[in-house]
């Protein structure tokens, strides 16, 4: 599912309590924006997992960057470039603990 959002707003792409490999909501911006960030908030006791921030101009071809998330931390991933679609995905499951990911574009 794709959710349309206004520039400068952030949305939860992966809800709190997630631990399994999953694809977050795809956020569709009304126009391409230059700065995209995923803020990953890990619960206490998290065993390392990986979150990827993904951006696209057309919703088909994706550019990604990965970030390793560890216990009780807030970790960010950023991509700069004119993209209209943005999402976050858990690509390596968290065997202990959970993560929430909020995505913002401006």
Q: Where are the domains of the chain?
A: 2-105
Per-residue pLDDT of the chain (106 residues; tens, 9 = 90+): 455 555 555 566 677 777 777 788 888 888 999 999 999 988 888 778 889 999 999 999 999 999 998 888 899 999 999 999 999 988 888 878 888 888 888 8
Residue 4 confidence (pLDDT): 53
Which residue spans within 19-93 are E strands per DSSP? Answer: 22-23, 26-42, 49-56, 63-69, 74-92
φ, ψ for residue 58, nearest 5 deg: -125, 0
DSSP one-letter code for 62: -
Distance CA 102, CA 40 (A): 7
- Asked whether the beta carbons of 24 and 103 are under 8 A apart, the reply is yes
27 - beta bridge partners? 3, 86
Specify whether domain 2-105 bears CATH 1.10.20.
no
Measured distance CA(65)–CA(54) in Å, rounded: 7
Which uninterrupted H or E stretch holds 2?
A: strand 2-4
């Amino acid at each position: 599912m794709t959710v349309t959002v206004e520039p400068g707003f952030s949305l939860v792409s992966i809800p709190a309590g997630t631990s399994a490999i999953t694809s977050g909501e795809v956020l569709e911006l009304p126009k391409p924006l230059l700065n995209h960030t995923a803020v990953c908030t890990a619960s206490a006791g998290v065993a390392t997992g990986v979150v990827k921030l993904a951006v696209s101009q057309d919703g088909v071809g994706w550019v990604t960057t990965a970030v390793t998330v560890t216990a009780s931390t807030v970790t960010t991933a950023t991509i700069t470039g004119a993209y209209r679609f943005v999402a976050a995905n858990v690509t390596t499951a968290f065997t202990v603990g959970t993560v929430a990911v909020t995505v913002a574009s401006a």
